[in-house]
């Protein structure tokens, strides 16, 4: 295994010492490139790909934490290990994003080998996490479903995020809701608040396929799902199903009217779809001497006299709506 390392160090004696130590590593081959100052280091990272950067914080043309920030800005996707005689600055650089800090008083071949390997692996995990967060953010932003996010603080839920679709679906500007309690953002939350809190505490998702809501500004029927995204945070995904519910209710009323009419007539009435029975009244069942459960799903031609099957099949295939 070969690891490409860029060493940015203005003291040539220390640079030679570090290079020799890396040459003595037991399990890894290091290809070390030395840059005596930040400007040379920046040029090199623009031209070549390195697996890791070893950085001294005090160089001839830069000093302290600003050295790390300048280097990190130039190679944001490369792990940086600080090698410095200034402990306080080294620790602060780690807080700002450096993968590790090695005091110059403690350098050894094994320490360098271990630190560089761990830095590379930790950096990979951080990049993967960032990529996952970016993908997640893109999905949330681009989904046509509405998204609300809440944070639990002292048994109260505070509105903390949303996506563009939420504005479009509810017809409101969510910016003014950030940071306020759920019951102040959406007054008629009912038991929903308790369900969201339960999701945060248990980690178990929650779904309700039909919730009616009306607060004077927002009115409709919504399908809502909630799931935990972080510690003390829940995301809810919702869609407006008002039209669908109204259509279902109208269809139900139509079916009830049809049922009432069909049961009141002396004629046999049946409904078919794609040549199969999906409903029939009592008179029809009497005519064919069969129960409704038996009729449902059967082909129409099973109840047609043999001499008339051809005309029925042809008419079904033509999808004719004329009487025959």
Closest among 229, 52, 34, 63 to 124, alpha carbons compared: 52
How far is the C-alpha of 6 from the C-alpha of 176, rounded, in Å? Answer: 49
Q: Give per-residue pLDDT as tens, 267-284.
A: 888 888 888 888 888 899
How far is the C-alpha of 173 from the C-alpha of 218, rounded, in Å? Answer: 12
The pLDDT score that the predictor gives to residue 4 is 93
How far is the C-alpha of 135 from the C-alpha of 119, rounded, in Å? Answer: 24
How far is the C-alpha of 238 from the C-alpha of 245, rounded, in Å? Answer: 15
Q: For residue 263, is pLDDT > 80?
A: no
Q: What is the mean pLDDT of the chain?
A: 88
What lies within 8 Å, CB to CB, of 126 at 6+ separation is none
Q: What are the residue boundaries of the structural domains of the chain, listed by start?
A: 2-138, 143-240, 254-318
What is the percent of the chain with per-residue pLDDT over 90, rounded to a whole number?
37
The pLDDT score that the predictor gives to residue 1 is 64
Q: Give per-residue pLDDT as tens, 198-207.
A: 999 999 999 9
pLDDT band at 230 (very low <50, low <70, confident <90, very high): confident
Other beta carbons within 10 Å of 185 = 20
Could you tell me which CATH number the domain at 143-240 has?
Answer: 3.30.450.20
Contact 185, 215 (CB under 8 A): no
The pLDDT score that the predictor gives to residue 135 is 76
Q: For residue 128, is pLDDT > 70?
A: yes
Q: Do domains 143-240 and 254-318 have the same CATH topology?
A: yes
Closest among 202, 206, 197, 198 to 227, alpha carbons compared: 206
Domain 2-138 has CATH 3.40.50.300: no
Q: For residue 175, is pLDDT > 90?
A: yes
How far is the C-alpha of 200 from the C-alpha of 235, rounded, in Å? Answer: 10
Q: For residue 66, is pLDDT > 80?
A: yes
pLDDT band at 55 (very low <50, low <70, confident <90, very high): very high
pLDDT band at 181 (very low <50, low <70, confident <90, very high): very high
Q: For residue 257, is pLDDT > 70?
A: yes
The pLDDT score that the predictor gives to residue 237 is 93
pLDDT band at 256 (very low <50, low <70, confident <90, very high): confident
Q: How many residues does the chain have?
A: 324
81-85, 308-312, 313-317: range with lowest mean pLDDT: 313-317
How far is the C-alpha of 72 from the C-alpha of 163, rounded, in Å? Answer: 31
Q: Give per-residue pLDDT as tens, 3-13.
A: 999 999 988 99
Instruction: Tell which wins on pLDDT, 62 or 194.
Output: 194
The pLDDT score that the predictor gives to residue 166 is 93
The pLDDT score that the predictor gives to residue 146 is 93
How far is the C-alpha of 59 from the C-alpha of 71, rounded, in Å? Answer: 12
Q: For residue 244, is pLDDT > 70?
A: yes
Domain 254-318 has CATH 3.30.450.20: yes
Sign of CA dihedral 205, 210, 213, 217: positive
The pLDDT score that the predictor gives to residue 28 is 84
Closest among 185, 233, 190 to 208, alpha carbons compared: 190
């Amino acid at each position: 295994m070969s690891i490409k390392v860029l060493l940015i160090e203005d003291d040539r004696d220390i640079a030679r010492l570090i290079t020799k130590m890396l040459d003595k590593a037991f399990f890894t081959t290091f290809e070390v490139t030395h840059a005596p100052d930040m400007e040379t280091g920046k040029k090199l990272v623009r031209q070549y790909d390195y697996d890791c950067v070893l950085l001294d914080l005090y160089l001839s043309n830069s000093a302290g934490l600003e050295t790390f920030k300048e280097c990190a800005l130039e190679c944001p996707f490369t792990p940086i290990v600080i090698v410095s005689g200034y402990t306080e600055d080294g620790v602060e650089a780690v807080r700002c994003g450096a993968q590790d800090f090695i005091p110059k008083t403690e350098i050894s071949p094994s320490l360098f080998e271990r630190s560089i390997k761990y830095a590379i692996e930790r950096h990979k995990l951080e990049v993967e996490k960032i990529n996952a967060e970016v993908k997640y953010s893109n999905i949330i932003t681009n989904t046509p479903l509405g998204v609300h996010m809440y944070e639990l603080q002292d048994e109260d839920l505070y509105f903390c995020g949303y996506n563009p679709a939420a504005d479009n679906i509810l017809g409101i500007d969510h910016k003014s809701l950030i940071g306020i309690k759920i019951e102040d953002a959406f007054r008629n939350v009912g038991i929903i608040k308790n369900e969201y809190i339960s999701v945060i505490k248990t980690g178990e998702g929650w779904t309700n396929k039909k919730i009616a809501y009306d607060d004077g500004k927002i009115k409709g029927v919504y399908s809502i799902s909630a799931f935990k995204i972080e510690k003390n945070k829940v995301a809810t995904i919702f869609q407006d199903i008002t039209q669908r519910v109204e259509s279902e209710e109208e269809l139900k009323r139509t079916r009830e009217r049809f049922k009432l009419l069909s049961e009141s007539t002396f004629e046999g009435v049946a409904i078919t779809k794609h040549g199969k029975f999906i409903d029939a009244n009592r008179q029809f069942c009497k005519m064919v001497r069969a129960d409704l459960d038996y009729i449902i799903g059967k082909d129409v031609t099973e109840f047609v006299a043999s001499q008339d099957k051809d005309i029925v099949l042809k008419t079904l295939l033509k999808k004719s709506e004329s009487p025959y």
